[in-house]
Amino acid sequence: MHTQSVIEAIARAPYNMGVSGAAWLASEGNVPIVFDDGGVVLFECEGWNRYQVHLLLAARGREAIAQVRDAFRQMFEQHGAQLVFGLIPTQRRDVKMVARWAGAKSAGNRDTPHGRCELFVLSNLMFFKGAN
């Protein structure tokens, strides 16, 4: 694992709400997946093999989609994830498109303390049935 890469990616994240990279890494069950281009996909353990996903990608377009698919595959195959989900700010159409193309499904909009977001979900079964 590239500890410093993860810490720096979290510090640079535009929607970081005061989270320390070192503290995030120290939380039991959290899984970072780091790509060669410096992009990071964070899976925050919510218990019971469920993870909230955070995309801190350097790649764009097809490469970003491929990286997210690869990260999902790793979580389902190597880490036993049963469900991944993410809340994406409604104005981030680019991120919502990556989530859709990587296999996640919209579960509708939610009001959060940080604004309106769209909830995306992907289960192990959905991922492998879709043959991503």
Answer whether 120's CB lies under 8 Å from 89's CB: no
Over residues 30-58, the mean pLDDT reads 96
Residue 44, pLDDT score: 97
Helix, strand or coil for residue 93?
Answer: helix
Beta strands in the chain (DSSP E): 31-34, 40-47, 50-56, 83-89, 105-112, 115-123
Q: Does residue 12 register a pLDDT over 70? A: yes
Structural domains of the chain, with CATH: 3-129 (3.40.630.30)
Confidence class of residue 131 from pLDDT cuts 50, 70 and 90?
Answer: low
Over residues 39-45, the mean pLDDT reads 97
Distance in angstroms (rounded) separating the CA atoms of residues 44 and 116: 21
Distance in angstroms (rounded) separating the CA atoms of residues 45 and 65: 22
pTM for the whole structure: 0.93
pLDDT in tens, 56-99: 999 999 999 999 999 999 999 999 999 999 999 999 999 999 99
